[in-house]
Amino acid sequence: MEKRVYFRARLFPYLLVAPQIIVTLVFFIWPAAQALKLSVMRENPFGGNTRFVGMQNFERLFNDPIYLDSFQTTILFSVATTFSGLIIALLLALAADRIIKGATGYRTFLIWPYAVAPAVAGALWVFLFDPTIGIITYAMALFGYDWNHKLNGNEAMTLVVIAATWKQISYNFLFFVAGLQAIPRSLLEAAAIDGAGPLRRFWTVTFPLLSPTTFFLLVVNVVYAFFDTFGIIDAVTKGGPAGATNILVYKVYSDGFVGLDLGGSAAQSVILMAIVIGLTVVQFRFIERKVSY
Amino acid sequence: MSTVTLRDVKKAYGDTPVIHGVSMEIQTGEFIVVVGPSGCGKSTLLRMVAGLEEISDGEIHIAEKLVNNLEPRDRDIAMVFQNYALYPHMSVFDNMAYGLKLRKLPKDEIRAKVEEAADLLQLRPYLERRPRQLSGGQRQRVAMGRAIVREPSVFLFDEPLSNLDAKLRVQMRVEIRKLQRRLGTTSLYVTHDQVEAMTMADRLIVMNAGVAEQIGSPIDLYEHPETVFVAGFIGSPAMNLLDAAAFPGLSLPTDRGPLTVGIRPEHLVVADGGPIGATVDLVEPLGADTIVHAQLPTGDALLIRLPGNAKVTQGTTLSLAPKDEAAVHLFDKDTGRRI
Ligand SMILES: Nc1ncnc2c1ncn2[C@@H]1O[C@H](COP(=O)(O)OP(=O)(O)OP(=O)(O)O)[C@@H](O)[C@H]1O
Ligand SMILES: [Mg+2]
């Protein structure tokens, strides 16, 4: 009897983690391994055989001006999304911190964009900015501005940045509010007595004390902009016009599934994988050090 | 010359009045202690002087200047907070130098001032440390240092010692007082500890529910409490405050309406044929003194503080008398005011 219970108890934990392990294997490890394998292969354009080509796919990528453009586009997009997301969220959090008593409604209101799926968020903004029927386009036309993100690359980029930022603000906001609440009021009062005006107090006390939160959010937002914005790009611009919003994740998809260049696409995803691993390392390093002040 | 003047200062949060009008003149170099039970408005009063809290009504003058509408930084004050409020991301040196840097003093002058203060407070070895690497007492000293380098005309303290253990509290109490004497800076010091208040103050303000019950020197308050509240608050163990009926043996004025009679435990002496008879309930020999818990014939409890060598046994009845005429304090029972 006892033996059997013992045996069961040994198996049971594995049984409990099995679903998670299976999910990880099927949806992460296996595709990743597959991508690694494919990234050194080339598909015969006429079907049939694939052959080993070594690092050729990677070489091709780094000599491909379109890929390098996409890299630049991604960096521009990430920087713009991350910074506007962080700055707007911080301003909102500072406002909320001042009136925190009445802020619960305000907070809930700010949180729900986070619950919206990326594709839906994208669709929402497409609708608002549609060149023919969009209400914001209409408003801009009244001021004499002719908005058309389907033709103008800069406008397309602006629009995806707006959509991506809007979705991420609530997340940043929550962390910033929590960070601000953790700063003792008396520190700011002491600074006020020491002679610092509101702006000086922010830069010399609030901001440094918020830096762990800010750094954490910086990494999270870069990861978000690099990887999680696929749905938004797909819904808003599909990478266009003329590749103006063709960020790396989207290019993996369009080259692989639309262009059917599986080897090149796999090589791209391997590069993305390396980037995300790098960012994760940065994040963990930081978390280990924990407090920076 | 007065450094701080309060004229009928009031504070209300919304419709709730918290300070009902405090007036006071504080002379240059005076050490004023604000004392009272929790929630009576001590911190609020101090924060109004600091400019951290708006003044609902009345006037505050600092160094002969009306400061009602001045920002804290323009009031020429420095404050020491209960939790010290040191900047955690700055070194001890930078904590103390912060205010000086904001005033754009030359670098070497800042260094000189900070080091001088550090020497005064024995903080020299810690200047490069962060606040979290210091003990409570050291943090307390850094907070003091930050206040004194700025050479303000007023120091404000909000229960600066309440986070320290009892022994360190006594030590810091003495240090703060010595330092203040040496610098001669006018100080307003909030505490709820009446021993701290009595030992440190030149004058003290006893606050109760937003009202300054009495302002005076510690001895003044001890000898002539103006209200029942002050009588009960100042002195330890607390004064016996009982209805006149509890002391049938004392000759009390009868034309003043109902009275409350106050006699301090240390002002009762054992005397043959004394006017007060009390049965001993409990004896606490403390060495130097003996505290006797006794019961009057009316059933009221009476505290007596006798010399340490007094021989008192439980269950016996003591004949007691007030030490002298001044030992009996009379208060109007309805208004609580001294007669
Ligand atoms: N922001 C506020 N809004 C409303 N009421 C307040 C506010 N701050 C303080 N009070 C009230 O004002 C009264 C006085 O508060 P205060 O902090 O001055 O008390 P205190 O004497 O310093 O007490 P303690 O010894 O506990 O520090 C309290 O009854 C408190 O509830
Ligand atoms: Mg207080």
Q: Which two tokens stand for residue B268?
A: 């009762």
pLDDT of B76 > 60? The answer is yes
Binary contact (A187, B85; C-beta < 8 A): yes
Checking if the pLDDT of A232 tops 60, the result is yes
Q: Indicate if the pLDDT at residue A87 is higher than 70.
A: yes
3-state SS, residue B121: coil
CB contact under 8 A, B98 and A194: yes
**Measured distance CA(A159)–CA(A147) in Å, rounded:** 10
Cβ–Cβ < 8 Å for B78, B147: yes
Residue A51 above 80 pLDDT?
A: no
- pLDDT, residue B252, reads 82
Q: What is the pLDDT of residue A7?
A: 55
Tokens for A278, please give them. 């790098």
Q: Give the SS3 label for residue B25.
A: strand
- How many angstroms separate the CA atoms of B242 and B248, rounded? 12
Locate A279 and state its tokens: 């960012």
- Residues 212-231 of chain A whose Cβ lies under 8 A from any Cβ of chain B: none
* CB-based contact B52 A205, cutoff 8 Å: no
Strands B186-191 and B154-158 come out as: parallel
Closest CA to B283 of B257, B258, B311: B311
Distance B37 CA to ligand 2 centre (A): 9
- Band of residue A102 on the pLDDT scale cut at 50, 70, 90: low
Given a contact cutoff of 8 angstroms between Cβ atoms, the answer to whether B118 and B96 are in contact is yes
pLDDT of B89 higher than 80: yes
What is the per-residue pLDDT for A2? Answer: 47
Give Cα separations from A50 to A33, A53, A110, B219 (angstroms): 17, 9, 50, 101
Banded model confidence at residue A119, pLDDT cuts 50, 70, 90: confident
DSSP per residue, B79-122: EE-TT----TTS-HHHHHHHHHHHTT--HHHHHHHHHHHHHHTT
DSSP structural state of residue B239: P
Confidence bin at A191 (pLDDT 50/70/90): very high
Residues 6 or more apart whose CB falls under 8 angstroms from that of A38 comprise A262, A263, A265, A266
Q: Report chain B's mean pLDDT, rounded to a whole number.
A: 90
**pLDDT tens digits, one per residue of B124-170:** 999 999 999 998 889 989 999 999 998 899 999 999 888 888 888 88
- Rounded-to-5 percentages of helix, strand, coil across chain A: 80, 0, 20
The predicted pLDDT at position B12 comes to: 92
List CB contacts (< 8 A) between A293 and chain B: 88-89, 130
Cβ–Cβ < 8 Å for B218, B204: yes
**Chain B: residues touching A (Cβ < 8 Å):** 50-52, 71-73, 77-79, 81-83, 85-89, 98-99, 102-103, 130, 146, 150
Record: contact B72-A192, CB cut-off 8 A? yes
- Determine the pLDDT at residue B301: 92
Q: Which residue has the tokens 């599986």?
A: A262
Q: What is the mean pLDDT of residues A144-168?
A: 85
- Tokens 């007492």 correspond to B137
Distance from CA of B73 to the nearest CA of A (A): 4
How far does residue B43's CA lie from ligand 2's centre (Å)? 4
- Compute the distance between CA of residue B84 and CA of residue B245 in angstroms, rounded to an integer: 50
Beta carbon pairs, A and B, within 8 Å: 60
pLDDT of residue A45: 65
Contact flag B85-A184 (C-beta cutoff 8 Å) = yes
**Residues on chain A touching B103 (C-beta within 8 angstroms):** 195
Which pLDDT belongs to residue B331?
92
% residues pLDDT > 70 (chain A): 88
Domains and CATH numbers, chain A: 56-287 (1.10.3720.10)
Q: Is B148 helix (H, G, I), strand (E, B) or coil?
A: helix
Q: Please, which residues 157-196 of chain A have a Cβ atom closer than 8 Å to chain B?
A: 184, 186-187, 189-196
pLDDT at B26 over 80: yes
Place of tokens 């599909």: A238
Give the tokens for residue B303.
């505290």
Work out the minimum CA distance from A183 to partner chain B, whole angstroms: 10
d(CA A113, CA A170): 7
The Cα angle at residue A188 between residues A184 and A194, in degrees rounded to 5: 140
Asked whether the beta carbons of A245 and A233 are under 8 A apart, the reply is: yes
Centre of ligand 1 to C-alpha B15, Å, is 14
A191 contact residues in B (CB cutoff 8 A): 87, 98
Distance CA A170, CA B67 (A): 41
What integer pLDDT is reported at residue A1 of this predicted model? 43
Q: Which phi and psi angles does B106 have, rounded to 5°?
A: -60, 150
pLDDT, tens digit (0-9, with 9 covering 90-100), for B175-224: 899 989 988 999 999 998 888 999 999 999 999 999 999 999 999 999 99
Write down the ipTM of this complex: 0.83
Assigned token pair, A73:
């586009």
Q: Is A246 exposed, middle or buried (0-12, 13-18, 19+ CB in 10 A)?
A: buried
Average pLDDT over residues B254-265: 88
Average pLDDT rounded to a whole number, residues B247-263:
85
| Residue B206 CB partners (closer than 8 Å, separation 6+) | B35, B36, B212, B213, B214, B215, B221, B229, B230, B233, B234
User: Which pLDDT band holds residue A144 (cuts at 50, 70, 90)?
Assistant: confident
pLDDT at A177: 87
